[in-house]
Amino acid sequence: MKVSPAGHRRRQRSGIFAALLLFNLVLVLLQLWLFVGVLESLLDGKTTMAIPAAILSLVILGVNVWMLDGVVRLTRDV
């Protein structure tokens, strides 16, 4: 059975989308870990971890926005 080029592209898109979702899950878990770490640190009276964690959270936000733009472009080409 021969697969049409459109069907092959659709399979590639779904694979890319699944990979992006898995990567996003890793980023969400990392952000949750950061939040818990900062919260524990703040409860101990230490504020040194708050600023680096906030910067890393902004970086993660940037990566998520970049991935969202990629998904929008991927679905626009359909």
CA distances for 22 relative to 26, 27, 51, 75, angstroms: 6, 9, 27, 18
Sign of the C-alpha dihedral, residues 72, 76, 77, 78? Answer: positive
Residue 16, pLDDT score? 84
Q: What is the pLDDT along the chain (78 residues), one digit of tens a residue?
A: 676 776 667 778 888 888 888 999 999 999 999 999 999 999 999 999 999 999 999 999 999 999 989 888 878 866
Cβ atoms of 64 and 27 within 8 Å: the answer is: yes
Q: Where are the domains of the chain?
A: 27-78
